[in-house]
Structure 1
Amino acid sequence: MRQVPRPVGFLGFNSHAAAKDEADVVPIPKVAMWSLVTMRQTNSSSHPTFNEFFIRELKPGSRPIAFSECDDVAVCAADCRLMAFKTAEDSLRFWIKGRKFSIEGLLGKEVCTSAFSNGTLVIFRLAPQDYHRFHFPVSGTVEKFLDIPGCLYTVNPIAVNSKYCNVFTENKRAVAIISTKDFGKVAFVAIGATMVGSITFSKQQGDYVKKGDEFGYFSFGGSTVICVFEKDTIEIDEDLLANSERSLETLVSVGMKLGVSTKKLAETGLPNLESCVLGS
């Protein structure tokens, strides 16, 4: 069951700002307690720094992948607070207020196409206490990587909702293009943020991947992944769109259902989910 976080304040614009929200800044003991439940059990001596503890892997099977055998069903890429919009214009109306935001600015001219410019946008915002490895939302082949240098501004909602900030197009980020059978090309953007200058990928160009596979991780801090689907290639789940239109983030976990390929919907109607395996 997906939930909407309670409305609260957020961490300020720099790392010295006072914490107003337990959801954004969690004392180490709480992080440790949460990690013992969801992360791999390992000898503490194997984690000489808190950052190494922070990026530990999940226990096997702790994040079931929705309809794992159905590649026409996309899944959530991270444990996070999610916003989803059918178009970039919708994202500007309901959430992103930066005056200079555009899909081309986010992806870079080298990889941005008209299909991406008019496409569907999904924002996965990771808070510091979240599991900080990110996963593939779709199955396909990693076609290209592009590194875009930039700043390390905070990605919390105060910054995203400010007309004076353009965090998604000014922050350091890495763009990967995934070529798929059911969704066309999908742009996967890992964005650095305050205290997160390190983005590490575990896959290489040319690798074939399955949805739910690990793609990489952020080092300590808050950060964001944005996925851009080409125009009219995905039908995002209605609850996610409805919450986003109310400017409400939805709490999701890796592997939860995100949406369905419109190509499959057009060809066969709703996918035959009875023939798919829920989880792996």
Structure 2
Amino acid sequence: MKIIDRKNGQIINEVEDSAGIIRFLYHSLPGRIFLKLFFARVYFSKLLSIYYKSPLSKAKIESFVKKYNMDGRLLKRGFVSFDDFFTRKERINPDREGFIATASAKLRVFRIGENGELYQGKKRLNIMIKGNVYNTNKLLKSPLPKWARGGYLLLYRLSLLDYHRYIYPIGGRCKAKRSIDGHLESVRRDAAYWRAFAENKRVLEYWQSEHGKMLHMEIGAMLVGHIHNYEKKVFSKGEEKGYFSYGGSSIVEIVGKDIEIDGDILKNSERGFETKIKIGERIGYESNKAN
């Protein structure tokens, strides 16, 4: 899968940390055994978290910044641990108009048909991994709400380099919330990430937004056992919602007919591309489809 930088339209190649380890874990028998018994377990994430929050991990910051060609000024901010660096706060200037991006990430958007199936353009997605069919019912662990038919499923994939705090894309109220237990599989592109979305640990919220009903879900991934939310009942667009601990992670949102997604993102997704976006930028607008 290729990535298009929305800012300049260029196709970019993503540099992944520990790519060799991921290949070992997912493409060899010994690796899959280690994955099942150890790496994908929540307790492994918790043990690793202890190290990243300790002063011993501070030495990792400089090599991380240099490897990903990040702003060198970050090294002068006095972080006390790698976790302190990774979960840092940055200034965000969200667009005032429209439906905005929840996170800095690689975004794919799928249309939800009136039959409840997912579509990439006009082509229905048939997500089958090792004989198992994956769909929205498995993702939600419940039937897809009727209001979501004719809407969109937004898939944000955060890599290690991305800013790991996330915001509310619209104002509204949280009507219900539930947590779903699971493992911590990788959400990288060479892993079976649809399986990860349906089987990983995740937190699901049901919103009544300014433009209709909406579902929002944070999904943990390998190394990310901790999803930190602020538990707000009423929220405003652009307000910080929470953050992830170290690792790659994902956010899924489902919107109904009240929201329309910008055409360039839909076109990229239809062609099989992810769109690199920045937190707070406009990605959609109020639709007339629901009227």
1:28 correspondence with 2:43:
no
- Partner residue of 1:64? 93
- Displacement of 1:185 in angstroms is 1.3
Q: Please say if 1:156 is aligned against 2:156.
A: no
Residues 1:13 and 1:191: Cα distance change in structure 2 (over 3 Å): farther
Per the alignment, do residues 173 and 213 of structure 1 end up closer, same or farther by CA in structure 2, a change over 3 Å counting? same
**Secondary structure at the counterpart of residue 108 of structure 2:** strand
Q: CA deviation at 1:4?
A: 5.3
2:261 paired with 1:229:
no
Identify the residue that residue 177 of structure 1 maps to in structure 2.
Answer: 206
CA contact (8 A) 2:155 2:251 kept: yes
Equivalent position amino acid for 1:259 in 2 = G
C-alpha contact (below 8 Å) 1:103/1:116 kept by paired residues: no
Alignment of 1:177-216 (within 5 A): 177-182=206-211, 184-204=212-232, 206=233, 208-216=234-242
**Structure 1 residues 33 and 140: CA distance shift in structure 2, 3 A:** same
Which structure: larger Rg?
A: 2
Instruction: Provide, for residues 74-96 of structure 1, a one-character-per-residue CA deviation record: whole Å limited to 9, x for no partner.
Output: 11110111111222521585695
Match 1:166 to one of 195, 210, 220:
195
Does the residue aligned with 1:225 lie in a helix, a strand or coil?
Answer: strand
Secondary structure, aligned partner of 1:123: strand
Give the deviation of 1:5 after TM superposition: 4.2
The TM-score, its normalising length taken from structure 2, stands at 0.72
Q: For 1:59-117, what per-residue CA distance to the aligned partner results, in whole angstroms no more than 9, with x for missing partners?
A: 3xxx3222x1x4xx2111101111112225215856955443222221222x8412236
Q: Report how many residues are paired.
A: 240
Residue 100 in 1 paired to residue 133 in 2?
yes
Residue pair 2:65, 2:71 contacting (<8 A) in 1 also: no
State the partner residue of 1:22.
none
Q: CA RMSD in A?
A: 3.1
- What is the CA–CA distance in structure 1 between the aligned matches of 2:125 and 2:68, rounded to whole Å? 35
Cα offset, 1:159, TM superposition: 2.2
Q: Which runs of 5+ in 1 are unaligned?
A: 19-25, 268-280
**Which of the two has greater helix per residue?**
2
Is the 8 Å Cα contact of residues 87 and 165 (structure 2) preserved in structure 1? yes
Aligned equivalent of 1:270: none
C-alpha separation in 2, matches of 1:266 and 1:119: 10
Amino acid at match of 2:141: G
Q: Give yes or no for contact 1:191–1:224 (8 Å, CA) kept in 2.
A: yes
Distance 1:34 1:261, change over 3 A: same
Tell me if the contact between 1:94 and 1:245 (Cα under 8 Å) persists in the aligned partners.
Answer: no
CA distance in 2, matches of 1:31, 1:139: 37
Give the structure with the higher percent strand: 2
In 2, Cα distance between equivalents of 1:195 and 1:113: 31
SS in 1 for 2:88: coil
1:20-67 Cα offsets, whole Å, 9 max, x none, are: xxxxxx941337863666x7x9851xx3320121001113xxx3222x
Q: Does 1:76 align with 2:108?
A: no
Is there any run of 5+ residues in structure 2 with no aligned partner, and where? 1-5, 27-61
For the structure 1 residues 266 and 200, does the alpha-carbon distance in structure 2 shift closer, same or farther, using more than 3 Å as the test? Answer: closer
Q: Structure 2 CA distance, aligned partners of 1:133 and 1:15?
A: 27
Say if 1:93 and 1:217 are closer, same or farther in 2 by CA, change over 3 A. same
CA change 1:86–1:97 in 2 (3 A) is same
Name the SS of the counterpart of 1:48 in structure 2.
coil
Q: 2:159 aligns with which of 116, 127, 137?
A: 127
Measured against aligned partners, the alpha-carbon deviations of 1:189-237 in whole angstroms (never above 9, x if no partner) come to 1000011110000233x2x21121111101001000011112x222111
Q: CA deviation at 1:15?
A: 8.5
